[in-house]
Amino acid sequence: QKEVEQDPGPLSVPEGAIVSLNCTYSNSAFQYFMWYRQYSRKGPELLMYTYSSGNKEDGRFTAQVDKSSKYISLFIRDSQPSDSATYLCAMKTSGSRLTFGEGTQLTVNP
Amino acid sequence: KAGVTQTPRYLIKTRGQQVTLSCSPISGHRSVSWYQQTPGQGLQFLFEYFSETQRNKGNFPGRFSGRQFSNSRSEMNVSTLELGDSALYLCASSFSGSRANVLTFGAGSRLTVL
Residue B100 confidence (pLDDT): 59
Q: What single-letter DSSP state applies at residue A77?
A: S
pLDDT band with cut points at 50, 70 and 90 for residue A94: confident
Residue B97 confidence (pLDDT): 57
Distance between CA A17 and CA B82 in Å, rounded? 43
Task: List, as ranges, residues 34-63 from B with C-beta within 8 Å of A.
Answer: 35, 42-45, 48, 55-56, 58
Q: Check if A63 contacts B (Cβ < 8 Å).
A: no
Q: pLDDT tens-digit profile of B71-108? A: 999 999 999 999 999 999 999 999 875 655 788 999 99
Distance between CA B68 and CA B72 in Å, rounded? 6
A44 to B43: CB separation less than 8 angstroms, yes or no: yes
B42 to A101: CB separation less than 8 angstroms, yes or no: yes
Contact A37, A100 (CB under 8 A): no
How many A/B residue pairs have CB atoms within 8 Å?
65
Q: Give strand ranges (E) for chain A.
A: 4-6, 11-14, 19-25, 32-38, 45-50, 54-58, 61-66, 71-76, 85-92, 99-100, 104-109
Residue B98 confidence (pLDDT): 61
Q: pLDDT tens-digit profile of A2-59? A: 899 998 889 999 999 999 999 999 999 999 999 999 999 899 999 999 988 889 999 9
B33 to A100: CB separation less than 8 angstroms, yes or no: no
Q: What backbone torsions phi and psi does residue A43 show, to the nearest 5 degrees?
A: -85, 160
pLDDT band with cut points at 50, 70 and 90 for residue B2: confident
Residue B26 confidence (pLDDT): 94
* Average pLDDT taken over every residue of chain B: 93
Q: Which amino acid is at B99?
A: R
Residue A51 confidence (pLDDT): 85
In B, minimum Cα distance to A41 occurs at B107
In B, minimum Cα distance to A50 occurs at B100
B99 to A31: CB separation less than 8 angstroms, yes or no: yes
Residue B29 has pLDDT above 80, yes or no: yes
pLDDT band with cut points at 50, 70 and 90 for residue A96: confident
